Amino acid sequence: MRNGTRWGKAAVLAITVMAASAVPAAAPGAPRRADRDTHEGRGLERAHQRLHQHELRATTGPSPQKARTTREITARPAAAKNFKVLGHEKLPGPTPNGDVLVYDHGGDVGTHAYVGTWSFPCSGTGVKIIDVNDPRNPEMVALAGTRKGISNEDMVVRHYAGRDVMAIGVQACGEEGAQGVRLVDVTDPSHPQQFSFFRTPGGVHELDMVKRRDGRVLALLALPFVEFGNTYFGTDSGGEFRIVDVTDPTAPVELAEWGMIEDSSAKIFGGNDELSSSFQGLGNFAAHFAHSVRGANRGKTAYVSYWDGGVLKFDIGNPSSPQLLARTSYRNNADGDAHSMTPYRAGGKRYIFQNDEDFSPLATPTVTTGATGNMKYPGVQMPWAPTLLSGGAGLLSGRTFDAGEGCSKGDYAGARDRVVLVDVVDPFYVGVIPNWSVPCNVGRQVLLAARAGARAVVLNLVSPDDAFIFEPNEERLDDIQRDAVGMPIVMVSNIDDMAAKIRRAGGAVRIEVETEVPSWGFLRVYREDTARDRNGDGIAEYRQVGHFSDLNHVRGENETPPGDWSIHNTEIHGDRAYAAWYSQGIVALDLTSPAHPQKAGHFVPPPSCALRPLFGFCGAEVWGVAVDHSSGLIYASDMGSGLWIVKPTGAAASTR
């Protein structure tokens, strides 16, 4: 899911989800169904509107940094090092392909691959089922879960009760869409039959299904942004991590729900305030929401990827009462975006391989001041500014000038050669928080600062949330491009109290802005024996012990060629990891030293133009990766070109 310098996937997802109404499961003491549906629908619509506003900006923004997304990419054949292509099935469109899994049904049925479908054009294609018993000649044999107005990105298959059962995460992407989990009998994968459909408030984005030794089968679900509606629209829809008993696939029963806002004391990394709003967090898309869930330890453990909250580890030994044990952590200058994870065990140690799906390579700044000691306050740059900061320390320093509300020319008298501090009110909450209003547009404030000769502008976002990117009125953009050259624009959040401390200090205060190296999303490695509570919120944090980002265009470039250079999903086989890395294809990693993965090979499908109208370029877009552990074969789902079956060779093949 989500934000990109092309950011088109999530932008379209947001547009279509906004049109859908949530269809929640009933709860004791809840308001009338029609009222509850209306409030839940408004909450989800508003949350996805924020997502859409942020993501669409990277494709349509006025700055030259965004113009590259409309250029064509040079056609090229498939590229492979230490991989051999065995088979390819060009799956039918027009809906882009989603995740992939491979499952051996045994007997005469044998091995089949399952490929999900993602959102636009919201055709309800469902899950594509492919016979891969002959990996050189894969053949699509069926569709499952087809229904207009839904997106079916993720699925999992397990054998129990004498049947092969597939659980599909269902999200609405149109007015007729339903939301929840679809359970399907795929014992005969060429003739799938529905067992049941379990409705949830909000859609199920990613999920897992675990079989326990006690005979119970649990579906573990991630429901993004449900808590936003609870916070601002008065709904009581519960949390975003759900545990559902699907032992009887015809009659699922919810056992537990958990939300990071309602059910934890977690502090925001980089801010140390307790989490209270879904759009608090780090980097260019600050947010806390449940994105993905993965089971482990025979159904006694669940890992929930919670975006800027890190990956949360739960004890679900009692599935009716999940207990948070620890989570991965971020530094103040990170972009967050914990999308998914893979557990790994080596040398008696447990590791978390965390995929950060970050589509915004714009360097993230941190701000220090003479009034706040050594505290580094996280912020964001405005990509529509004609001058951007790029990696390195000490890029911007000076003395502050406090323009306060900054709506009139007189507020900037004396601002020449100073770093202007000005309050900007978050326009997102107009109509959400009672009596919330915006005194003047950010474009006017920036132009007044520029025309007063300011050296730079630090916008202090007055909001319940952390800093995020939003644009001035369109008519101001051309003026800003002309008049604000050489004036970087950085935003921090009022909830972090930096501006308040500067103002209490009085007079001109020294201020310094430094930026992290520009980066797309990459792989982070955490070790579970490092857990301790480092920020005093009562939750242990795992320490990062390594990472992998050593690929072209992933780090160090504010402007990158057309394509998506972020990691997405990773699977592990023996001592090798295989990462689906969008335009990088499949990347093989040697895990001999788990904290220091080394590239061992790659496979990049030939560029497809099938999604050019949606993404603006022709190229590889590998969403998912699956491993057949019996054969060692790798299955890759490309959003445009379909299913690829490849064999790792040489250094890319596991040694055990």
* Segment 415-458, tens digit of pLDDT: 999 999 999 999 999 999 999 999 999 999 999 999 999 999 99
> Which pLDDT does position 393 carry in this prediction?
53
Contacting residues for 114 by C-beta, under 8 A, at least 6 apart: 100, 101, 102, 103, 127, 128, 129, 130, 155, 157, 166
- CA 587, 591, 595, 599 torsion-angle sign: negative
For the CA atoms of the chain, what is the radius of gyration? 24
Contacting residues for 485 by C-beta, under 8 A, at least 6 apart: 386, 387
User: What residue spans define the domains of the chain?
Assistant: 8-70, 79-361+519-652, 365-515
Which residues on neighbouring strands pair with residue 81, listed in sequence order? 602
For 150-186, the pLDDT digits (tens) are 999 999 999 999 999 999 999 998 777 889 999 999 9
Confidence of residue 614 (pLDDT cuts 50, 70, 90): confident
> Which pLDDT does position 43 carry in this prediction?
73
The residue-averaged pLDDT of 89-98 equals 93
> Which pLDDT does position 174 carry in this prediction?
77
> Which pLDDT does position 526 carry in this prediction?
99
> Which pLDDT does position 33 carry in this prediction?
32
Domain pair 79-361+519-652 / 365-515, same fold: no
Confidence of residue 412 (pLDDT cuts 50, 70, 90): very high
> Which pLDDT does position 120 carry in this prediction?
78
The whole-angstrom separation of Cα 447 and Cα 422 is 12
Total Cβ atoms within 10 A of residue 162: 6
**Coil/strand/helix, residue 113:** strand
The residue-averaged pLDDT of 73-102 equals 89
Confidence of residue 122 (pLDDT cuts 50, 70, 90): confident
> Which pLDDT does position 549 carry in this prediction?
98
Whether 125 has a pLDDT exceeding 60, the answer reads yes
Mean pLDDT lowest for which of 4-18, 25-39, 160-174?
4-18
Confidence of residue 576 (pLDDT cuts 50, 70, 90): very high
Dig out the tokens for 620 from the structure. 């590889």
Contacting residues for 213 by C-beta, under 8 A, at least 6 apart: 298, 299
> Which pLDDT does position 36 carry in this prediction?
42
The whole-angstrom separation of Cα 447 and Cα 303 is 47
Name the DSSP letter for residue 325.
E
The whole-angstrom separation of Cα 616 and Cα 66 is 12
Confidence of residue 634 (pLDDT cuts 50, 70, 90): very high
> Which pLDDT does position 589 carry in this prediction?
99
- For residues 32 and 234, the model is more confident at 234
Confidence of residue 394 (pLDDT cuts 50, 70, 90): low
In the chain, what is the straight-line distance between the N-terminal and C-terminal CA atoms, in Å? 33
The whole-angstrom separation of Cα 82 and Cα 650 is 6
Task: Determine the distance from the C-alpha atom of residue 176 to the mean position of all C-alpha atoms in its chain, rounded to a whole number.
Answer: 25
Whether 385 has a pLDDT exceeding 60, the answer reads yes
- Total H helices, total E strands in the chain: 9, 38
Length of the chain: 656
> Which pLDDT does position 156 carry in this prediction?
99
CATH number for the segment(s) 365-515: 3.50.30.30
* CATH topology assigned to domain 79-361+519-652: Methylamine Dehydrogenase; Chain H (2.130.10)
CA angle, corner 51, sides to 45 and 55, nearest 5?
140
CA angle, corner 97, sides to 91 and 100, nearest 5?
95
For 317-361, the pLDDT digits (tens) are 999 999 999 999 999 999 999 999 999 999 999 999 999 999 999
Confidence of residue 128 (pLDDT cuts 50, 70, 90): very high
The whole-angstrom separation of Cα 128 and Cα 321 is 35
> Which pLDDT does position 41 carry in this prediction?
67
> Which pLDDT does position 562 carry in this prediction?
94
The rounded percent of the chain whose pLDDT value lies above 70 is 88
- Cis peptide, bond prior to residue 121, ω within 30 of zero: yes
Mean pLDDT of the chain: 90
For 131-151, the pLDDT digits (tens) are 999 999 999 999 999 988 999
For 501-539, the pLDDT digits (tens) are 999 999 899 999 999 899 999 999 999 999 999 999 999
Whether 3 has a pLDDT exceeding 60, the answer reads no
The residue-averaged pLDDT of 94-123 equals 94
Which residues on neighbouring strands pair with residue 169, listed in sequence order? 181
> Which pLDDT does position 392 carry in this prediction?
60
> Which pLDDT does position 52 carry in this prediction?
56
The whole-angstrom separation of Cα 307 and Cα 487 is 31
Confidence of residue 400 (pLDDT cuts 50, 70, 90): very high
Whether 67 has a pLDDT exceeding 70, the answer reads no
The phi and psi torsions of 228 (rounded to 5 degrees) equal: -60, -45
Which residues on neighbouring strands pair with residue 328, listed in sequence order? 542
Whether 24 has a pLDDT exceeding 60, the answer reads no
The residue-averaged pLDDT of 600-621 equals 94
Mean pLDDT lowest for which of 61-65, 270-274, 408-412, 646-650?
61-65
Confidence of residue 100 (pLDDT cuts 50, 70, 90): very high
**Coil/strand/helix, residue 143:** strand
Confidence of residue 40 (pLDDT cuts 50, 70, 90): low
The residue-averaged pLDDT of 201-209 equals 96
Confidence of residue 8 (pLDDT cuts 50, 70, 90): very low
Contacting residues for 74 by C-beta, under 8 A, at least 6 apart: none
Confidence of residue 280 (pLDDT cuts 50, 70, 90): very high
- Predicted TM-score (pTM) of the model is 0.92
Given its phi and psi angles, is residue 29 left (phi above 0), alpha (psi -120 to 50 degrees) or beta?
Answer: left
Confidence of residue 219 (pLDDT cuts 50, 70, 90): very high
